[in-house]
Amino acid sequence: MEKPFAITLDVGSSLANKTGAWRDERPVYVDRLPPCNAACPAGEDIQGWLYHAEEGDYERAWRRLVQDNPLPAVMGRVCYHPCTSACNRAQIDEAVGIDGVERFLGDEAIRRGWELADAAASSSGAGARARRSGKRALVVGAGPSGLSAAYHLTRLGHEVEIHDAGELPGGMMRFGIPQYRLPRDVLDAEVQRIRDFGVKIVSSTDVTDVRDAMREGGFDAAFLAVGAHIGRRAYIPAGDSARILDAVSLLRCTEGGEPPRLGRRVAVYGGGNTAMDAARTARRLGATDAVVVYRRTRERMPAHEEELREALEEGVRMKWLSTIRHAREGELVLEKMELDAHGMPQPTGDLEELKADAVVLALGQEADLSLLQGVPGLSVKDGVVEVGANMMTGAPGIFAGGDMVPAERTVTVGVGHGKKAARHIDAWLRGGEYTPTAKHPTADIGVLNTWYYADAPKTVAPRLDEVRRCSTFQEVKQGLDEQNALFEARRCLSCGNCFECDNCYGVCPDNAVIKLAVGERYAIDYDYCKGCGLCAEECPCGAIAMAPEPG
């Protein structure tokens, strides 16, 4: 070879030296389950949709979201967001406001008229609505669980009909959750979208016998989600003229536009979320004094902290460690309680009077299970229907979910039941068995390298001004605007899943990380990787693990 002036040696490249032979451990890219996803009762891929929202691609984010949950605008408002409680970011500054972003996406979808049909088509290609099965499924109840099941079953290729006892669909979302938490135009829009997707909803239809209904309609399977609508009563010795009613009826009548007369001083008996709803509703109906009487303490009350805080802000008073001994006109006799060593309230004998024109009982709800009478194989325990891991009752082909089965009673849990049941019903209808894919190990804060995340505290959604909110049923919590939602989405740490920050590509002293096309992440060049582990150590989100060298 002709060499240039003054060059006497051939030039060789170090590429001939495969330093990969030095390695005794190798980096591998992994996906871990982010804690938000792990905590979501509806099984949403929260991090997955935040990823698109971070780019400002809200439609794609929403489409990812509705693959799991067809009610994002509702969810972003009423869910008690266990996702944010689990969020790793809470240990750095503040949890990501996932609920705020979800609500923003839901509202954006309503505003822009995004359709579910498109969601299916774009999410998994042309055949997204799975091949038609020719099977028919009956869903009883148009609450969150029933709507969710119907939506998912439709996606899976079945023909679905919902039979609902209410005049309007929505179940507890309409007749239990007050308007100041969930405006009805939002609910209507999301229900309508499910109808447009092909779900037939038959309202004002009481299913009195599920087997008859299945036979008459030619249904191959049924999903029952009738909820728990009957307010639990407690015996309270009362004079003739004492006004006692239950929270479920109060909320339902208020929704129907005919609220009961409560008077100016209202006592609410109970410590759950329904008690908070009842007390706040009473304030809006004109009660000057709304008092919640609860037998235990603040720490032990089942109502969510956020609901309690908002109730207190609206002037609701709390009577802790108290039970109602006796009710008479305009007055209650309360007995003070104290907690024993087991945290159970015990009477003390100390009595106290409380002025009250009405007592609202918010002591829990029971399910009306009469439609199941005579169904063989079914088992009812503690007032709820027992179901297996596949959500099927003891009767083949009859599945159940939501408030009528043993679980926490929230909208989100209901939606989750609907999705889960739909998958099992699909498998059952097709003669197979649904096996969920194994979950990745959870990405806890320990796998993150938090140095790399910029400090950015949470954006708080503005609340409706207090005076205004005690007198109207207008929505209390206002939404995030686009800028805030984007900021909030970008606070996501992407725990356990690569978000293409290029850190591994940058910090490798051996150029042994290959950057692939956008969206395809990276690959390790094992010919040269020496196994130093820097990429794994400096990965912000814990998406690289060191594994023993095979062989």
Partner 1 sequence: MAARPIKFYQVGSFAVGNRLLGPELRSVQADPNRSNAITKGHRACQGCGEALGARYALDAAMRATDGRLIAANATGCLEVFSTPYPESSWQMPWLHSLFGNAPAVATGIAAALKAKGRTDVRVVGQGGDGGTVDIGLACLSGMFERNDDVLYVCYDNEAYMNTGVQRSGSTPPAARTMTTQAVGDEPGNVFGQGKSLPLIAMAHEIPYVATATVADLRDVEAKVERAMQLRGARYLHILVTCPLGWSCQASDSVKVARLAKETGLFPVFEAEHGAVSAVSKIRRRRGVEEYLRLQGRYRHLFEPQRREDVLARIQAIADRNIARFRLCDPDGFSRQDFPANAGLAREGAPREGA
φ, ψ at 521 (rounded to 5°): 65, -140
- 22 binds partner 1, rule: CB under 8 A: yes
- 5 binds partner 1, rule: CB under 8 A: no
Q: What are the C-alpha distances in Å from 378 to residues 207, 247, 388?
A: 17, 30, 11
Q: Write down the least CB distance from residue 33 to partner 1, Å.
A: 19
Beta strand 322-328 with 221-224 is: unpaired
The SS3 call for residue 388 is coil
* Residue span 129-168 as binding mask against partner 1, x where in contact by CB under 8 A, dash where not: ----------------------------------------
The answer to whether the beta carbons of residues 365 and 232 sit under 8 Å apart is: yes
Tell me which of 1, 6, 7, 15 binds partner 1, using CB under 8 A: 15
Contacts of residues 456-460 at CB distance under 8 Å and 24 or more positions apart, as own/partner, are: 456/93, 456/487, 456/490, 456/491, 457/93, 457/94, 458/93, 458/94, 458/95, 458/96, 458/97, 458/488, 458/491, 459/97, 459/100, 459/484, 459/487, 459/488, 460/97
- Give whichever of 354 and 544 is closer to partner 1, judged by the CB atom: 544
- 36 binds partner 1, rule: CB under 8 A: no
Q: Choose the binding region for partner 1 from 8-16, 208-216, 229-237, 437-445 (rule: CB under 8 A).
A: 8-16
Residues 442-481 that bind partner 1 (CB under 8 A): 451-456
- Compute the half-sphere exposure of residue 264: CA atoms within 13 Å on the CB side of its CA: 2
Give the strands of the sheet with 200-202, arranged side by side. 200-202, 159-163, 136-140, 221-224, 398-400
Interior CA angle at 338 toward 334 and 340, to 5°? 145
- 128 binds partner 1, rule: CB under 8 A: no
Q: Choose the binding region for partner 1 from 11-19, 152-160, 228-236, 286-294 (rule: CB under 8 A).
A: 11-19
φ, ψ at 118 (rounded to 5°): -65, -35
- 435 binds partner 1, rule: CB under 8 A: no
Q: Write down the least CB distance from residue 79 to partner 1, Å.
A: 24
Residues 307-346 that bind partner 1 (CB under 8 A): none
Q: Write down the least CB distance from residue 72 to partner 1, Å.
A: 22
Q: Choose the binding region for partner 1 from 78-86, 113-121, 171-179, 504-512 (rule: CB under 8 A).
A: 504-512
Other C-beta atoms lying within 10 Å of the C-beta of residue 227: 27
- Please give the Cα distance from 61 to 46 (Å, whole number): 9
- 306 binds partner 1, rule: CB under 8 A: no
- 507 binds partner 1, rule: CB under 8 A: yes
- Give whichever of 53 and 222 is closer to partner 1, judged by the CB atom: 53
Closest to 58 measured CA to CA, from 97, 105, 115, 96? 105
* Residue span 85-114 as binding mask against partner 1, x where in contact by CB under 8 A, dash where not: ------------------------------
Tell me which of 9, 341, 389, 438 binds partner 1, using CB under 8 A: 9
- 499 binds partner 1, rule: CB under 8 A: yes
- Please give the Cα distance from 522 to 544 (Å, whole number): 11
- Give whichever of 229 and 530 is closer to partner 1, judged by the CB atom: 530
Closest to 325 measured CA to CA, from 296, 349, 297, 290? 349
277 is written with which tokens?
Answer: 């709803």
- 487 binds partner 1, rule: CB under 8 A: yes
Q: Choose the binding region for partner 1 from 14-22, 108-116, 139-147, 191-199 (rule: CB under 8 A).
A: 14-22
- Please give the Cα distance from 40 to 47 (Å, whole number): 11
- 41 binds partner 1, rule: CB under 8 A: no
- Compute the half-sphere exposure of residue 109: CA atoms within 13 Å on the CB side of its CA: 35
- 502 binds partner 1, rule: CB under 8 A: yes
Tell me which of 4, 12, 257, 551 binds partner 1, using CB under 8 A: 12
The answer to whether the beta carbons of residues 442 and 30 sit under 8 Å apart is: no
- Please give the Cα distance from 322 to 338 (Å, whole number): 9
313 is written with which tokens?
Answer: 């802000």
- 206 binds partner 1, rule: CB under 8 A: no
The answer to whether the beta carbons of residues 65 and 119 sit under 8 Å apart is: no
Tell me which of 333, 501, 526, 545 binds partner 1, using CB under 8 A: 501
Please work out the total of residues on this chain that contact partner 1, with binding judged by CB under 8 A.
Answer: 53
Residues 520-549 that bind partner 1 (CB under 8 A): 525, 528, 530-534, 536-538, 540, 546
Q: Choose the binding region for partner 1 from 177-185, 258-266, 416-424, 498-506 (rule: CB under 8 A).
A: 498-506
- Give whichever of 179 and 494 is closer to partner 1, judged by the CB atom: 494
Contacts of residues 251-260 at CB distance under 8 Å and 24 or more positions apart, as own/partner, are: 251/175, 251/176, 251/177, 251/178, 251/277, 251/278, 251/281, 252/175, 252/176, 254/178, 254/281, 254/285, 255/174, 255/175, 255/178, 255/179, 259/285, 260/358
The kind and range of the H/E element at 544 are strand 544-548
- 259 binds partner 1, rule: CB under 8 A: no
Q: Write down the least CB distance from residue 447 to partner 1, Å.
A: 14
Q: Choose the binding region for partner 1 from 180-188, 227-235, 462-470, 503-511 (rule: CB under 8 A).
A: 503-511
φ, ψ at 458 (rounded to 5°): -70, 150
- Give whichever of 327 and 492 is closer to partner 1, judged by the CB atom: 492
Q: Write down the least CB distance from residue 12 to partner 1, Å.
A: 4
Residues 48-87 that bind partner 1 (CB under 8 A): 54-55
Give the footprint of partner 1 on this chain (CB under 8 A).
9-19, 22, 54-55, 451-456, 487, 490-494, 499-503, 505-512, 515, 518, 525, 528, 530-534, 536-538, 540, 546
